[in-house]
Structure 1
Amino acid sequence: MRKPFIIFYFLIFYTLAELIWWSVLLVRSQPGRIGMILGELAVFIAIFSVGAYFLHKSINNERRLHQQQKNFLLSVTHELKSPLASIKLYLQTIQKRDLNREQQLNFISKSLVDIERLNDMVENMLIASRIDNSSYTFPKEKFNLSELVQTIVSRLQINKCDCNQQIISADVDPDVEIVGDKFALSSMINNLVENAIKYSGPCEVVEVKLKRKEQSVHLMVADHGIGIADVEKPRIFDKFYRVGNEDTRNTKGTGLGLFIVKHVLDKHDATIKVRDNKPSGSIFEVVFA
């Protein structure tokens, strides 16, 4: 991506040099019109500079998007290979080994967890694509948000910690109902909780709270993980954006989760804020008015 910038800067330098040279020639041939020539030169340079600035910005954005898409493809490839390899191994073991029923059920259960991971990733890509081309209408209905949060928390508790510790601490007010798109909001909650688990250390507790406060509903997901630097916070909701480099990052993900979260909440007139957790980690707070 360096070549377009080299060509771009060369063309700018060449154009300005030619413009100044022709202006000098005009001044020499018509010294009485020097004021008009210099005035027009200044206006042209100003317009040219503004155009060059926006063109440079556009090329830079294109380069950043290209890198993010490259990172996304690398990440998706890894995300697909890992659970597929795991499922294949479990099924081959069941097929080739004489396992008792308890061992078979254990391997089947682990395979189903990996299938859920694949399903979540496919749903994320599907809803992100629909958001991009504005084909998703967000059909809304009244439903029990408390039950949805509890269901997601229960599912994500399974096989997330080798020490059998309950890593998600849920504090959910009963019978909290809202009007919204249940599928999209399910994806939003799932992404927030998955992110909290993903960026936390082994067996670190993730807190999920759902509270009704006067005329609003508050959903909070807090972790004690690596946290988010202040300089990164304005960009974490951008599509494909992930902190660090895809080649060196250990955490899994596609960079779509928080992008989906923000757009889903915008469609529900809800807000989301991220702040530091003490002594470490992050807190995401969603407010439904």
Structure 2
Amino acid sequence: MKYGKLKLPLNLKGIIPVLSAPKNVLLPYTLPATYMPKFKQFFRPLVIFYVLVVYVVACFSWWTWFHINNLQTIFDITVEKEKVVYKANNLNPEEVVNAATYKNAHRDLIAKRAMILAEGFVFLLIIGLATYQLHTGIQSEIMLNRQQRNFLLSITHELKSPVAGIRLGLETLLKRGNLDRDVQKKLLNNSLKDADRLQALVENILMAAKIENQSISLSPDEFDFSQLVAETVQKTKDTFAIGRQITADITPDIYINGDRMAVASIVINLIENALKYSPADTPVLVSLKTDNKQAFFRVIDYGPGVTDKEKGKIFKKFYRIGNEDTRRTKGTGLGLYLVKQLTEIHNGSIRVTDNLPTGCIFTVTLPCEVIPEELLIETLVNPDAEPTA
């Protein structure tokens, strides 16, 4: 059995490389060393850079001190000369401070000293700002490389697992053609679930790429948000969360204007995120409420929660709490990033709060329209009538 190449020709500013698998080999990815940057790669340039900065600052400080000291020496020599002249003319040398020559020399000393100090301050300010910018850029590069490595590790696993499951089911069906029909049906269902999982992963990556390139194209239309949430919860129960308890509290007939597929991605990613980061024996609560102006979609879990420091980071692209080498939960770090981006595209907002005593509450707020009661009655009488706001 031959397997063709699997490629993801995306353009996330060089973050996602093109992955490919040769024929007869099922995604045996091993990450090259170039994809595993370590801090030591940046240590030597950092040391050299900061040594140069210290050297430049020290040289400039010495230059400033030298010139100020030289000006003071010139001024002292000028004063001593004037005192000699005063003594030669039988005048009191101490009265030289009242002479015009002394005042002009002192004024010139103060002006030149102020000029040198001002130039030094501006120079050190520029050096400081440049150092801060370079330091921030280097730290961002280190973080970006770390996130890239984590993303490559996670996506390698996420791609291999469903494809391996599909292959296992199909090979079993080919090698054992005399299996019971129920067993065959079960294998096919498992393969379909793995295919759905793979499709969802690829769709997330493609949507993230489109958002990054500002090329996402949405088709806004009015649809039943309540029905979408109910269908998504049920589908999740039947596929990704078999055996998990998902409790739904959905106010019916909440309509919003937006892209149905994009909003579905918001709902799916939040529910799957709650399932991944909460214990299997705890429930996940999904609610949808409205105040007739806005729809409030909430997903509540009883997992470990998110610290206040991490709450501002979890919506960044590729960001995941912990290290990919020791993390047990699945994911690519794109789910919450997509949720935030798609929510803002729909003129909504998202926030995360603590669910005491443990867990998180993700709340998505979207503009909504509720079907008026008289229109609902008309719809019940005439089922073919389309609901409009």
The TM-score normalised by the length of structure 2 is 0.70
Could you tell me which of 52, 55, 60 is aligned with 2:139? Answer: 60
Gapped regions of structure 2 (runs ≥ 5): 1-41, 73-108, 368-389
- Could you tell which deviates more after superposition, 252-261 or 52-61? 52-61
- Could you tell which deviates more after superposition, 132-141 or 75-84? 132-141
Q: Deviations over 1:157-203 (max 9, x none)?
A: 12545xx6452112222222110011111111110011011111124
Alignment of structure 1 residues 59-208 onto 2, 5 Å: 59-97=138-176, 98-160=178-240, 165=243, 167-208=245-286
Q: Deviations over 1:8-39 (max 9, x none)?
A: 21221121122223334434554444342233
| Structure 1 residue 40 corresponds to structure 2 residue 81 | no
The TM-score normalised by the length of structure 1 is 0.93
- CA distance in 2 between counterparts of 1:227 and 1:169 reads 19
Whether the 8 Å CA contact 1:242–1:255 is kept in 2: the answer is yes
Cα 1:34/1:215, change in 2 over 3 Å: closer
| Structure 1 residue 14 corresponds to structure 2 residue 50 | no
- Could you tell which deviates more after superposition, 16-25 or 187-196? 16-25
| Structure 1 residue 210 corresponds to structure 2 residue 293 | no
- CA distance in 2 between counterparts of 1:200 and 1:99 reads 37
Whether the 8 Å CA contact 2:244–2:280 is kept in 1: the answer is no
- Could you tell which deviates more after superposition, 92-101 or 248-257? 92-101
Q: Deviations over 1:220-256 (max 9, x none)?
A: 1111122111211111111111101111100001111
The aligned amino acid for 1:248 is: T
Cα 1:206/1:239, change in 2 over 3 Å: same
Q: CA deviation at 1:107?
A: 1.0
2:78 aligned residue: none
Cα 1:215/1:34, change in 2 over 3 Å: closer
Greater relative contact order: 1 or 2 (C-alpha under 8 angstroms, separation 6 or more)? 1
Gapped regions of structure 1 (runs ≥ 5): none
The aligned amino acid for 1:23 is: T
Q: Deviations over 1:59-112 (max 9, x none)?
A: 211211111111111110011111111221122222222310000111111111
Q: How many residues align?
A: 287
Whether the 8 Å CA contact 1:165–1:203 is kept in 2: the answer is no
Whether the 8 Å CA contact 1:145–1:175 is kept in 2: the answer is yes
Whether the 8 Å CA contact 2:225–2:256 is kept in 1: the answer is yes
The aligned amino acid for 2:254 is: V
Cα 1:254/1:166, change in 2 over 3 Å: closer
Cα 1:130/1:160, change in 2 over 3 Å: closer
2:305 aligned residue: 227
The aligned amino acid for 1:150 is: A
Using the aligned pairs only, state the percent identity: 44
Name the SS of the counterpart of 1:232 in structure 2.
helix
Runs of 4+ in 1 over 6 A off after TM superposition: none
Q: Kindly report the root-mean-square deviation, in angstroms, between the aligned alpha carbons of the 2 structures.
A: 1.7
- Could you tell which deviates more after superposition, 187-196 or 20-29? 20-29
- CA distance in 1 between counterparts of 2:307 and 2:67 reads 55
The aligned amino acid for 1:175 is: D
Larger radius of gyration: 2
The aligned amino acid for 2:353 is: R
1:263 aligned residue: 341
Name the SS of the counterpart of 1:99 in structure 2.
coil
